[in-house]
Amino acid sequence: MSTKIYERLSQVYDLDWARFALQYVPLLSELLSERGIAQARILDLACGTGGLTVELADAGHFVHGVDISPQMIEIAKSKTAGWPNVCFEVQDMVDFRVEGEFDLVTCTFDSINYLLETDEVRAMFGRVAAVLRDLGLFAFDSNTEQLYATRHTGTYPRELGGESFVQQASYDPVRREATVVFEFADGTTEVHKQCPYDLEDLSGLLTDAGLCIVHAFSGFDRSPYTSESERLICVVEREPGRSGG
C-alpha cells in the first residue's frame, strides 16, 4: 500500500531529519540582528514538524508555519499548544495564502526540490515576494545536480523509534528526477520525488519575482557556492517597490 509523502514518515521524522533545519538558527539570527530586527514576523514554508518554527518562536519572533502534510502539522501543533506567537496551517507552498507581510520567509531542508516543475518554483517565488516587506529576506536551500549525481544511490535498512524500514535512493539524470522509496515492515511505502536546482536554474526565476541574491553558500560554514557544490544555501532580498505574483 502506498501512502502520501510524510503520512507515515512523519511519525519518526524528528528522530533524524528534523535536525537539519535547526542549523539555520545562527544564520537567521545574524541576518535579523544585522537589520536591527529583534522581534520579526517570520513565515516558515514546508515547516514539517515545526523544529525551526519552534526555535524561532522561542527566541521571541512571531512565526507562521505552513506545510502540505496534515500529519506533520499535527505534530508541530502539539509542540506549541497555547503559545501566542506561533501558528501552523496545512497549505501548499506553491500557492499559500497568509495575512500580512513578513520580515523573513524560510524554506529549509531541500523542500524546494519537491517542486518538480519550473512553473511551480516560479509560482512559489512569486508568492514569497508578495508577502515579504520591502527589503525582507527569503532564506532557502536546494540539493544540486552534483549531490544527486554523486550521492543519491543505494539501499539502506533503517530503524527509528522502533519503526523498521528500507530507504532506497536513485537518480535519473536524463529526467533530472531523484527518487527515494521508503518501504516499511508492514509493506507500506512512501515515494518521494525531487528535482535538482542549481543557482543557475533559480537565479532568473528569483530576478523575475523581484528577489535579489544577497548570499549564496554551499554550507553552514558560509563557504561560497560554486558549480561543484552539492547544496545551495541562498539568502535573497525583496527589491523595494516590487509586487509579487
> Which tens digit of pLDDT belongs to each residue from 121-137?
999 999 999 999 999 99
Beta strands in 61-151 (DSSP E): 62-67, 86-90, 102-107, 132-143
Rounded to 10 degrees, the C-alpha dihedral 200/142/230/155 comes to -130
Instruction: Judge whether residue 244 has pLDDT over 60.
Output: no
CA angle 184, 193, 1 (to 5 degrees): 35
Instruction: Judge whether residue 173 has pLDDT over 90.
Output: yes
Which value, in Å, is the radius of gyration of the alpha carbons in the chain?
A: 18
Locate the domains of the chain by residue range. Answer: 2-143+197-238, 147-194
Which grid cell sits at 188?
507500506
* Architecture of the domain made up of 2-143+197-238: 3-Layer(aba) Sandwich (3.40)
| Model pLDDT, residue 2 | 72
| Model pLDDT, residue 151 | 95
In angstroms, the CA 106 to CA 13 distance is 19
| Element housing 164 (H / E) | strand 163-172
**Where does the pLDDT of residue 21 fall: very low under 50, low under 70, confident under 90, or very high at 90 and above?**
very high
| Model pLDDT, residue 170 | 98
| Model pLDDT, residue 233 | 98
